[in-house]
Structure 1
Amino acid sequence: MNEALRALIVWASFAGVGTPFTRVDPVIESDPTEIERAALREVLRAQERIYETRPIASAALDFGIGFDPTGYAWGKFRQRGYAAAFSVEKLKEGLEWNFPSSRYRLSFSRGNFSASPARQQSPVAEVPLLILLSRAFEEGRQVQFGPVRYALLYEDGRDIPGSLSLLRKDEDGIFWVTYNGLEQARAGIRWFLSVNGTLFGLRLEGEHIVFYKKPARKDSFSLPQICASKAVM
């Protein structure tokens, strides 16, 4: 496979609206135009609504979700002002962690995040990954470009490695995450979508996520900086 064709396949895989291999046009550089800003405080405030609370023994535990700079999902857990987060891969192995009310065993299995008292291992509090993804998509700070709607997710690096992600849901109900490290997002415009001849991108500028657009053209095989996307499990 020659390099030009390989580049087109990669480009199509992240920019597709319906399926991951929707064809989009190659682009050339042109002056981008700012079209929207989202304050990080708005994004973080919206993320507070993502959590699902479950009773566990005589207490309660909040379950949430986030993504790292490589697009992998992390489970977020919160209780009485204390927060912790672990990658899904680590949770698949199971682990124990101290929270204000008790020490819990945390895990991820069969599409569910779960927590139970470490000693008794019952009762078990569970939240499906799908519920957390749906809440993140519906309750997160929204942006929309053409027919494509995204929820913004931001991690400052305290609990999950710093990242800026866009979550969308395709026509088949599959969730896709478009991911960036914070250094990447600050370094330059990251292009993530092409719709009807227009390319859309973002850059992290101070305390805002700034969105840009520019025209796409068919007569060049050069590609700008792009954001990668992947289906969420």
Structure 2
Amino acid sequence: MPPPTTCSIIMAQTFTPFPRLHLELRLMIWNLALHFFPRVIEVTSQHFNTDAPVQYRKWNAMASTILTLLQVNREARYELLPRYPAPFACPTLGPYSPASLLLNYELDTVYFRIDLMTKVSREQFFAHVFGGAESEVRSNLKSLAGNDRFWRIMIPTNNDSRRTGFCDFDNFTKLEEVIVVGYLEQRLDDSNNLPRLERFEECDPRDEYEAAYPPWFNEGFNSTPRSIPISTKLCREVAKQ
């Protein structure tokens, strides 16, 4: 018997009768398949005019992958598109960001990677990035990530007389996961050819500074009674090759 050809292998892995299934079953399959395509939405501050207050800043936002299922056919797009709102405030997005960046609150992780933001107001931060959709994001987002500088700016220490703990995140009512990208794990960017973030990968602390992350977060987030427990992960970035 001759060995199978590449074409025959592909055909064997393809479920060709799918279009003949009942509509209700096809829609169920589309929705189940959605969970195999989580993304990371990476938000970075533009590097110019670093002394400008946050309300005058622009942001670059990029998704780790395209929305694969929404491009399969009209049926899939019609069924799944309502699950992808566009919460980012377009006036705050830089010229390299999509005009309408879609986000799935159930599956996607919003990742803030900031470096030179010396004048950021955490009270205004999310309102500036998401505009009128801020309350929607706070009420629905399940996974939030940030690099070391983001968390150190957004979360006050016990020495901060204005705030204590993690009260700025109390309104993230469905938040289930926070991801910390340690300062030793952040990749360096080439400003002319930004590497696209593919995913997060859990890692062990590399020094005492990073080892202090989990207790710091658990003490803060878990000190406030919540109906949904929050898990803290220390991760590194994995970029597309």
User: How high is the TM-score relative to the length of structure 2?
Assistant: 0.23
| Greater fraction helix | 2
User: How high is the TM-score relative to the length of structure 1?
Assistant: 0.23
Structure index of larger Rg: 2
Higher relative CO (Cα under 8 Å, sequence separation at least 6) belongs to: 1
